[in-house]
Amino acid sequence: MVDVKEEHKIMVMATLLGICCILTLYFHAVRETGVVFTHFFYIPIILASLWWRRKGLVVALFLTALLLFSYFFVRQEWGTVNDLIRAPMFIVVGLIVAILSERIAKAEEKIKRKNILANIIATVPDSLVVLDTDLRIKEANRSFYEKFRTEPDELIGRGIAEVL
């Protein structure tokens, strides 16, 4: 089941894609010109890539196919190749935005997990220490530092055997 927020995104995207189709038809079939109208295409491409990450590339592929189809089959005159150059850029821009969006989501998740861990460590009343795979101290709570009468800078990165 699709939630209301997702339904709104789908409706916005459908509207934007409809506008793109109308612009393509108008400029290629009615005006018979290659005036740069495709800059509007970047709006749905970027939004789709931000909202749906790599799945949003479907929008870039659709608009690329629309532009190429219109260029070869609808447009009457063959003056400029700007459309042919611009079409692959839709996919490149969509891919870059999708990759960056995925990286942002991973970074936010990592920050969220780190904040949860920091809250757990801070609220434990007993001494608590977090070690890495080499048994070096990554983090510790205030009680641990008070018990060993040290500061975080002195312990972080040192082996647990050195401290105890």
According to the model, what pLDDT value does residue 80 have? 61
106, part of any domain: no
Range of the structural domain that residue 73 is part of: 4-100
Reported as a pLDDT band with limits 50, 70 and 90, residue 57 is: very high
Q: pLDDT tens digits, residue range 65-77?
A: 998 888 888 765 6
- Tokens found for residue 71: 């260029």
Q: Report which of residues 106 and 1 the model is more confident about.
A: 106
How far apart (Å, rounded) are the C-alpha atoms in residues 72 and 76? 9
Same domain, 27 and 94: yes
105, part of any domain: no
Give CA separation, 24 vs 28, 34, 147, in Å.
Answer: 6, 9, 72
According to the model, what pLDDT value does residue 45 have? 96
Same domain, 68 and 128: no
Q: pLDDT tens digits, residue range 16-56?
A: 999 999 998 888 888 777 677 888 999 999 999 999 999 99
Number of domains present in the structure of the chain: 2
Q: pLDDT tens digits, residue range 89-118?
A: 999 999 999 999 999 999 999 898 888 877
How far apart (Å, rounded) are the C-alpha atoms in residues 118 and 45? 38
Share of the chain above pLDDT 90, in %: 41
Same domain, 60 and 131: no
Same domain, 56 and 92: yes
